[in-house]
Amino acid sequence: MSTSLATYISLPGTTAEAFEHWHEVFGGELNLMRYGDTPMEGMPFEPDPQAVAHVALSLPGGELTGGDVMDDKDYPIRDTAYSLLYTVESPELARELIDKLISGGGSENMPFEKAPWGDWYGQVFDRFGVMWAFSVESGESGESGKATG
């Protein structure tokens, strides 16, 4: 196995729904395992058998992983302190993905357009409160004019 870095996100009981939504939006390969699918002997806590123990969504360029939060604390999800940055090949593809997240209950945070540094950039919050940032390098195809949806 080679060295890699994946993003891991814990959601408050909505992990399965979120990853299924992201799978619909982005495609890729989805592998989801619930606690009820695992041998639960020796666990330091009593998980809900329907809670997500681990999920992985393999996408072109990376992997998004996660699981359900296992305590009763209220963790902030919607925030601008972090985002999932997805760099894609064209402004048209980025706009298509942004539109899918918005039509799935999300909202635009920053319009997707040419940024002052020359690349395309924009942000959207999905319906789970996760901020997705989209980037297209200026040397990529489709860079003339504003990307439209």
pLDDT of residue 103: 98
pLDDT of residue 99: 98
Q: How many angstroms separate the CA atoms of 74 and 102, rounded?
A: 25
Q: Does the pLDDT value for residue 65 go beyond 90? A: yes
Question: Are the C-beta atoms of 83 and 133 separated by less than 8 Å?
Answer: yes
- Judged by average pLDDT, the poorest of 39-48, 65-74, 98-107 is 39-48
- pTM listed for this prediction: 0.85
Which CA distances in Å does 62 have to 4, 66, 118, 124, 138?
9, 14, 24, 19, 21
Domains of the chain are: 7-68 (3.10.180.10), 84-136 (3.10.180.10)
Coil, helix or strand at residue 43:
coil
